[in-house]
Amino acid sequence: MNSETKVCQNCKKDFVIEPDDFAFYEKIKVPAPTFCSECRMMRRLLWRQHRTVYKRPCMMCGIETFGIYHPSVEMNIFCSECWRSDKWDSRDYGIEVDFLRPFLDQMFELRKKVPAESSYTLNSINCRYCIVVIDSKDCYFCFGSINSKSCLYCFAPFLSFNCIDSDVGRNMDSAYGCYNSSSIFRTQYVYFSEECISSSFLFNCIGCSDCFGCINLKSKKYHIFNEPFTQEEYKQKIKYWDMGSYAKVKEAEEKFNEIYYATPHKYAHIINSPDSVGDNIIGGKNCKQCFMALFGVENCKYILSSGLLLRDSQDVSFGGSNSQLMYETSGTEESKSIFFSRGGKVCSDVQYSENCTNSSNLFGCFQMRNRSYCILNKQYKKEEYEVLVPKIIEHMNKMPYISPRGIVYKYGEFFPIEFSPWKYNEAYAFDFIPLSRKEAVDQGFGWREEKQKGYVITKKVSELPDHIKDVSDSITQEIIECAHAESECDELCSKAFRIVSDELEYYRKMNIALPRLCPNCRYSQRKRFKTTPKLYHRTCMKSSCKNEFETAYSYDRKEIIYCDTCYKVDFL
Amino acid sequence: MMKNIKIKIEKLKYFFPIICKMVKFRIKVWWYKKYGNKR
């Protein structure tokens, strides 16, 4: 089949469906999409919660729990213990299909009734204010922590210990303020680096130890701002850069930023991945328009933050883990043939469903465990199911759901954004494609207004001591004003923050200056070097080279971008 | 049950070199903690 140009229902821009896309749709027997790839991704991102924690009572036991759902969201929320208990069965909420109403309307009416887990917590001990924690211990205000211990204010730490403010990394130990760095030890402000020890302010460095303010280095020691020194010289010079002093941190950060923008960067971070286009692809094969596709992603397209042996799939975000034939899914793992669904594990042949585990042959089901042949949470016989599903698909095409913005949702579209329990600033979309309040509201995504919390500020940022050694124990009793409190901050700024005793102990032990921003503002500062999941056609910025490539660095970014060949000549 | 075990074995086969690399780094860190930057 030839490629076809269509108009996106959402953004009204033209988009192209390639012949290999048609072949994939034919293989899994779904119609071609009516949204462009970017709007499809945005829609999926709006169906995943990001960094907001709310307190609401469990509808079964009544105990107040911290979870991902705002108290105003009309859903039946259970705490983890009740949700995992055998006191309820999702089939008890099952309903018959009504062929006189749009199917998606019925589906989301059912969603309000079926119990959902307030936050995913599994095998974790002493984890306070954490969302999605698995096999973790003593974590505090962490999101997506897996097999980690004593981590504070971290986002997606995996197999990490004693880390504060360090995100999206594995095998981190004693890291502070790091982003997307793996196998690091005693490091501060390290970004997109690997196997680094005792270093600060690094970007794209591999196997470095005792380095400070360096970019694009490989297996180096005793470097300061990309200049080599002897061990004695390094020890003398590094005394000046005392990380315990906030003024010195700021000075180092400014110098590091200068070097960052003056040093050429590779157009994309693609390692051991033949025939791949996108950014941050490791160990993949034939990945097209994939962003953060890690470890064994093969023959996939439009993938975001997924990996671990994901094969033959399209439009997948936050999923994978030994999965194949996935289309328009978000957060689904260890599954096969899953379409238009979110969440769930170890499933096959599931469509339009959410958070189903160990199940197969489901259509329009929510929170099912160990079930087969169900529609709208109602159990059917295999023969009945096989007759009913084609009928529902036909009904969805004849009587589609039409959103208030006039978007038609026939069979073959992911969940409509109107039904998402999260607004733009609560959802993952805000992290990947930051929009202002006005932009988000104009595009119909909604914005969760912050409730006035009425904190009584007891300490202004200007009153904090410059050096950590001058900080007294009483700081843990203070409510400190965030440095962004008086400015218009769109980064979910909580306006105030506290220093907990474990945190203070860590800062003293590691000689780290006290932070001046609230945890959410600190997170947005760390991800400043991250690219957005969108490709731009650009030319190599080396004067003698005219190579063209697809990069995630947008036209307005200040970085100097080199093609693969020029980058290798200069840095390898 | 068998399906879960199969998935775990396949994952382990793929991740064995990555796990080895991580373990190697942990040994490096242990060495660094004990002897500093000396070889």
pLDDT at A513 over 60: yes
pLDDT at A315: 95
Is A346–B7 a contact, with Cβ atoms under 8 angstroms apart? yes
C-alpha span between A376 and A108 (Å, rounded)? 10
For A22-39, what is each residue's pLDDT tens digit? 999 999 999 999 999 999
pLDDT digits (tens, 9 = 90+) for A295-306: 889 999 999 999
pLDDT of residue A115 exceeding 60: yes
Asked if A321 reaches chain B (Cβ–Cβ under 8 Å), the answer is: yes
Distance in angstroms (rounded) separating the CA atoms of residues A379 and A371: 8
CA distance B23 to chain A (A): 9
Q: Which of A94-108, A161-175, A376-390, A480-494 has the lowest mean pLDDT?
A: A480-494
- Per-residue pLDDT band at B1 (split at 50, 70, 90): low
For position A312, what pLDDT does the model report? Answer: 93
Q: Is A109 in contact with A115 (CB distance < 8 Å)?
A: no
Alpha carbon A21 to its chain's center: 26
Q: Give residue B35's pLDDT.
A: 85
| pLDDT per residue as tens digits for the range A41-85 | 999 999 998 788 889 999 999 999 888 999 999 999 999 889 989
pTM of the model: 0.90
How far is A385 from chain B, CA to nearest CA, in Å? 24
How far apart are the CA of A353 and the nearest CA of chain B, in angstroms?
21
Angle at A503 between CA A499 and CA A509, to 5 degrees: 130
Q: Give the separation between CA A174 and CA A188, rounded to whole angstroms.
A: 9
Residue predicted with more confidence, A121 or A185? A185
Q: What is the pLDDT of residues A522-570, one digit of tens each?
A: 999 998 888 989 999 999 998 888 899 999 999 999 999 999 999 988 8
| Cα-based angle A357, A360, A362 (whole degrees, multiple of 5) | 95
Percent of chain A with pLDDT over 90: 76
Provide the 3-class DSSP secondary structure of residue B22.
helix
B20: Cβ–Cβ under 8 A, 6 or more apart, which residues? Answer: none
B14–A295 CB contact, under 8 Å: yes
Q: What is the mean pLDDT of residues A149-157?
A: 93
B25 vs A170: CB contact, 8 Å cut-off? no
**pLDDT, position B37:** 66
| Amino acid B3: pLDDT | 67
Asked whether the beta carbons of A433 and A52 are under 8 A apart, the reply is: no
Q: Which residues of B touch A231 (CB under 8 A)?
A: 37
The rounded mean pLDDT for chain A is 91
Q: How many CB pairs under 8 A join A and B?
A: 42
Model pLDDT for residues A249-305, shown as the tens digit of each residue: 999 999 999 999 999 999 999 988 999 999 999 989 999 999 999 888 999 999 999
Percent of all residues in chain A with a pLDDT value above 70, rounded to a whole number? 100
Question: Is the pLDDT at A495 greater than 90, yes or no?
Answer: no
On chain A, the residues whose CB falls within 8 A of the CB of B37 are: 198, 209-210, 221, 231
